[in-house]
Structure 1
Amino acid sequence: MAPLRIGWHREHFLSPLLQFAAEDNGETFQLVECPGGTGEMQVKLKEGEIDLCIALTDALIAGIANGQKAYKLVGRYIASPLRWAIVTGTKSPYNSIDDLKGTTFGISRQGSGSQVMVSVLSLQQGWKETEQPKYAINGHFKPLRDSVNSGETSAFLWEWFTTKPYVDSGEVRFIGSVYTPWPCWHIAASTAAPASSVKSFLSALESYVTHFNSAEARKNEDVDFVSDYFGHKKEDVAEWLSSVRWEEGLTVVKEKVVLETLDVLEKAGVVKQTTPWAVDDFVNSDVATIE
């Protein structure tokens, strides 16, 4: 059987997957990097270019709610929320979240987490209809940074610790942050991928996740790995590790998480409910247990 093709984005959250990949050496799966993040992974799932991905909960659920049928959720990954940085240009005129009302935000792709969370931010801030943000699709992380410095966009949202080195170097500025109101990462697989292969992969990945999540590994081993692989400062890695928790038991999807995420997404205008949500439409129960 051909190795599974696993979509991933260059994020420190995926460290257990990278450790697994180093030992597997392409025998059972191959990594397919997706610089465009969750939005790119959704496209690749639809076009049959990857079999599985670990990606942002909200964007995955929104995609299915909005008619994407190429994939379903097959498991959970991160139990804690994600801290999204609100990022602007070094010399931009924007100095607070309130300054961003009615402006143009950069996003990686339509339906991406970077777009979904702008909608959530607008909802949380209570912006009026005339204050709603506009969007410019910039693709990858570098064009997003360029766009806030050129003035093409006012700001963009990206994971806090991934962005921090560019703030430290003076390339961009933080003007705030917003947390997801849901556990931030889930696992999705193509509906065409064999359930047995997906379950086997997740079972093997779970041991790496469990070890990385352990108190013992967090003391030094995790910090060294993330710092060496991604180039982050060790003190930043330690701070990040203090705020993140991986799930114990990957092949579970909680009904409450799916429905509560949909509720927030609907209020934010990201999805529209026409019939009652059915959790079975979102989860591949041949792989994952719905609780």
Structure 2
Amino acid sequence: MPLRVGYVREHFASPLLQFADDDKGDTFTLVECPGGTGQLIAALADDKVDLVIALTDPLIAGIGKGNKTYRLVGSYVCTPLNWAVITGNDSKFKSIDDLKGTTIGISRPGSGSQTMAYVMALQHEWLAGPQTHALKFQVNNDIHGLVKSVNDGTTSAFMWEWFTTKPWLDKGEVRFIGSVLTPWPSWMIAAHTSPERAPHAEIRRFVATLTGYVRAFDSKEKRLHGNVEFIKERFGYPEEDIKAWMETVGYPEDCTAIPGKVITDTLHVLVTAGVLTRPEGGFSTEDFTLKDVVRLI
């Protein structure tokens, strides 16, 4: 039975989509999760997917909070994600500082949109340590619900990847009032822990083959010729936006390896932001991976 691979239909997924075009469902099928990483993690628990490509911070935060459903099995994007801070077109909010004490929109609990709100609060010194849990959130499921909430006034702002949200900015439906970069590489690969659900040999083959598509997409040749046309055709983004994004994104040389420092550095920020509580004795990086699938380097 083909692996069920959960993903978010964004430009970051381009190497995966190219892999899927060639595979034609022989070894894996794609399951779109527009609600983002929170939905992807829930889909793993609900037996809707076997493997996901999702944001680093909520994946690591979920494991750090005791979720035993999944573990990390690979790297996907090695550069930070640029999160736009977005408010309604006619709202009263003019800067990030105006958002202190207001209700922030998120897609789902445990999503990147929630984690990055904690990071934003930490960077702007609104609250200290565990008190960041006092942040107020409203769940709005997906980008459409988030845009609606900042325009009807039920939330002050939300956070979403810059270029993904730019079409709403271009249409005059929202305003960007700032941005926050992730303090970690932005995307990783995770799989269900049950070898019956997601056989480890199949996961290894999938991630190893994906590496070839990632290398090709990240190559100088494809950056000059091919990537822009693919993204424009598949997503309809303006060429100038695609070229601007291509200047900011980088992919790993080997998806089958995870730098241990990525896990430890991400955990440090999440603990500092109050998203996680460090257990007595600290965290072990090996507890965050499927050891017989991925290499820690």
Q: TM-score, normalised by structure 2?
A: 0.96
Shift of 1:153: 0.2
Shift of 1:128: 3.1
Query: In the alignment, residue 253 of structure 1 is paired with which amino acid?
Result: I
Aligned-partner Cα distance in 2 for 1:205–1:97: 38
1:289 and 2:291 aligned: no
Provide Cα deviations, 1:108-140, integer angstroms capped at 9, x if missing partner. Answer: 000100000000000000003699531000001
Count of residue pairs the alignment pairs up:
290
Which deviates more from structure 2 when the two are superposed, residues 176-185 or residues 278-287? Answer: 278-287
Give the equivalent residue in structure 2 for 1:199. 204
Whether the 8 Å CA contact 2:100–2:126 is kept in 1: the answer is yes
1:135 and 2:140 aligned: no
Query: In the alignment, residue 285 of structure 2 is paired with which amino acid?
Result: V
Give the equivalent residue in structure 1 for 2:54. 55
Aligned-partner Cα distance in 2 for 1:75–1:128: 34
1:240 and 2:245 aligned: yes
Give the equivalent residue in structure 1 for 2:121. 122
Query: In the alignment, residue 159 of structure 2 is paired with which amino acid?
Result: L
Aligned partner of 1:263 among 245, 268, 290: 268
Shift of 1:285: 1.1
Aligned-partner Cα distance in 2 for 1:186–1:128: 29
1:280 and 2:286 aligned: yes
Secondary structure, counterpart of 2:276 in structure 1: coil
Whether the 8 Å CA contact 2:84–2:159 is kept in 1: the answer is yes
Give the equivalent residue in structure 2 for 1:26. 25
Shift of 1:227: 1.0
Provide Cα deviations, 1:29-68, integer angstroms capped at 9, x if missing partner. Answer: 0000001110001001112211101100000000000111
Aligned partner of 1:185 among 178, 184, 187: 187
Give the equivalent residue in structure 2 for 1:161. 163
Secondary structure, counterpart of 1:183 in structure 2: coil
Secondary structure, counterpart of 1:149 in structure 2: helix
Provide Cα deviations, 1:221-268, integer angstroms capped at 9, x if missing partner. Answer: 100111111111000000000000001100111111101100100111
Query: In the alignment, residue 43 of structure 2 is paired with which amino acid?
Result: K
Q: TM-score, normalised by structure 1?
A: 0.98
Shift of 1:157: 0.2
Aligned-partner Cα distance in 1 for 2:46–2:95: 40
Give the equivalent residue in structure 2 for 1:67. 66
Query: In the alignment, residue 279 of structure 1 is paired with which amino acid?
Result: T
Query: In the alignment, residue 52 of structure 1 is paired with which amino acid?
Result: L
% same residue: 51
Q: Which runs of 5+ in 1 are unaligned?
A: none
